[in-house]
Amino acid sequence: MALLVTGGSGFLGKALTRNFLEKSRRVYSLSRHPPALAENLIPLEGDILLPNLGLEKTPKDIDAVIHSAALLSFKPGDKDRLYATNYRGTENVVKWMGKHGIRRLYHVSTAYLFGQNHYETSKQMAEDIILRQAEIKATILRPGIIIGDSRVEGLPPVSGFYLGIKALDQARRWFERGAKLPPLTFKIRVAGNPRGRLNLIPIDIVAWNIVKLMEQDAAGIYYLTHPNPPTIKDLERPISLATGADVKFLPDFTPNVGDQLVARLTTELSPYLGGHDLPSDIKCRRLTGNFLRRTAGAFLNKA
């Protein structure tokens, strides 16, 4: 039998596909831009927004779906796209499964379901759709903020964590160009709770645990989050080293012009800088400052 991975060309979808192929599982990879054909990998060009997922023919040997296709954005202007992709897209996947008699679903959600933005709300709505389907045996996977491979291989995802770092790096560059001076240490203060925790989890840890849960045929809700994530304060030094700026997260201060620029660039990310305590159902080694610096640097060098 075989698996169908939606969002197969995405960061998580590709990591999952690699893990499944290593175990000699037959994988159908569904995406608008499917990967190249490989042994045991069958690319399917489709779209979860279309009826029947945009497929003219449905393979007969699919026994489970890993639904990882989603839109990640915190921009208010992406509201309609978020609900279309994350909510209606999931609804289409469920309908397609019912039509073709597929009863096993692994759904990639998020651990951040606090209703802080349209992304979080759309993901909660997607979960609600799935949990109402009595005929489907579902596993809800709630990862933390997915970051690069713990071995720092390849380009990290364009996620909120890295976009925030990119904004800090941009602010430093603009400051240096505007000042027309030799490189200086640009001091950046960002509103945040130094004691709060940001639940960062490497992509390889997430993918490995999803495969493990599938091998166990585990159903229910699982938090694929770091059991001991870094505090906001822990991020200051690695981000400073990666960007070349002197970054401080402070709960209260009077912002200068540079601070105001950074605040505008990171507005959508501000709810996460208060920190959240999340449950965890997995094990993961502590994220060292050196790893956080290297993965941030890898993104800045290649983005």
Predicted local distance difference test score (pLDDT) of residue 210: 97
Of 69, 14, 25, nearest in space to 46 by CA: 69
pLDDT (0 to 100) of residue 77: 95
Provide the residue-wise pLDDT of the chain in tens; the chain has 303 residues.
Answer: 799 999 998 899 999 999 999 888 899 999 887 766 678 899 999 999 999 999 999 999 999 999 999 999 999 999 999 999 999 999 999 999 999 999 999 999 999 999 999 999 999 999 999 999 999 999 999 999 999 999 876 778 877 889 889 988 988 888 777 666 555 678 899 999 999 999 999 999 999 999 999 999 999 999 999 999 999 999 999 999 999 899 999 999 999 888 888 899 889 999 999 999 999 999 999 999 999 999 999 999 865
Please choose, from the candidates 91, 102, 160, the residue with its C-alpha nearest in 3D space to the C-alpha of residue 127.
Answer: 91
- Report the CATH fold assignment for 2-143: Rossmann fold (3.40.50)
* Tokens at 128, concatenated: 């609600």
* pLDDT value of position 177: 75
**Residues 163, 158: Cα–Cα separation, whole Å:** 7
Q: What is the pLDDT of residue 32?
A: 86
Residue 200 pairs in a beta bridge with: 145
Interatomic CA distance for residues 197 and 237, integer angstroms: 15
Phi-psi region of 292 (alpha: psi -120 to 50; beta: other; left: phi over 0): alpha
pTM of the model: 0.94
Q: What does the pLDDT read at residue 50?
A: 95
pLDDT at 35: 67
**Domain residue limits, the chain:** 2-143, 160-198+229-276+286-302
